[in-house]
Amino acid sequence: MEMKRCCLRHPYLSFKTQNGFSFGGSQTWCSSRTLQKYGCGVVGMGDVLLYMGLHRPSCSTDLQYGIEREDGMLSTPRYERYLRRLRRKYLGIIPGFGVPGFLVPLAMNRYFRHYRMDFWARWCVSHTKLYRRIEESLAKDLPVLLAIGQNIPFWGKHKLSLCRQENGKYLPAAEVKAHFVVVTGLENGYLQVSSWGREYYISWQEYVSYVKKHSSFLVSNICLVAEKKKKGKGWHKKGEL
């Protein structure tokens, strides 16, 4: 597999925080303890939809109103309100568990239908096509929600490393399982991802190894957003996953 650089066309979401500027949103900013502990799926879905809303006029919705301020900065209080409304209307959280991956595209598709957007979402792409589908989605300026699934059996304690890039090297910075991140780029065989408002990198080889040894592609996969293509009087799903 050829590993080339690929990224979104626009700068990723950035909020001003006490420590500078974020890379994407974070559930740690929320006042709700349930969102803080189990809200990574809501944040991931919310960030994908917000990126689309900021850079595609047809994807801007009333839920996102006011997040982008007049000075061009993003409002953290309005963002938290946005997450709460997404959770209430589209993607509920199971306390103590979080959000099952297959529920995310169902929630996204309800959102797309409600706002009459010509997009659709799908969970669980064939593992042999995962990397290529991520690459194709980024080339179309669509972020990808990636699930790092729980261990199977679920009581396993194996985790996947999230790395920080320093001086061209990728150094382990955190470990996760049963977690959602948003993929914003690919380079050197690594996925550039947003998690907890920070920029991390995931080795693609390590991800595949983690899934094969400790998880499953049924729960460790992507929520892929694709554009519908007009055909005759109706719509059909563009491209085969």
Q: Please report how the helices 40-55 and 76-89 are oriented relative to each other, as an axis angle in degrees rounded to 10.
A: 110
DSSP per-residue string spanning 58-106: GG--GGGTTTB-TTSPBPHHHHHHHHHHHHHHT---BTTTB--TTHHHH
Domain residue limits at 99: 16-229
Kindly state whether residue 174 falls inside one of the protein's structural domains: yes
Kindly state whether residue 198 falls inside one of the protein's structural domains: yes
Kindly state whether residue 143 falls inside one of the protein's structural domains: yes
pLDDT, residue 233, reads 44
Kindly state whether residue 165 falls inside one of the protein's structural domains: yes
Q: Structurally, how many domains does the chain consist of?
A: 1
pLDDT, residue 96, reads 84
Kindly state whether residue 4 falls inside one of the protein's structural domains: no
What is the Cα gyration radius of the chain? Answer: 17
Q: Each residue of 131-177: pLDDT tens digit?
A: 999 999 999 999 999 999 999 999 999 999 999 999 989 999 999 99
Q: Each residue of 17-36: pLDDT tens digit?
A: 888 999 999 999 999 999 99
pLDDT, residue 141, reads 98
pLDDT, residue 5, reads 84
Kindly state whether residue 9 falls inside one of the protein's structural domains: no
CATH number at residue 39: 3.90.70.10
Identity at 219, one-letter amino acid code: V
The C-alpha atoms of residue 221 and residue 223 are separated, in whole angstroms, by 7
Kindly state whether residue 225 falls inside one of the protein's structural domains: yes
Residues of the chain with pLDDT under 50: 1, 232-235, 240-241
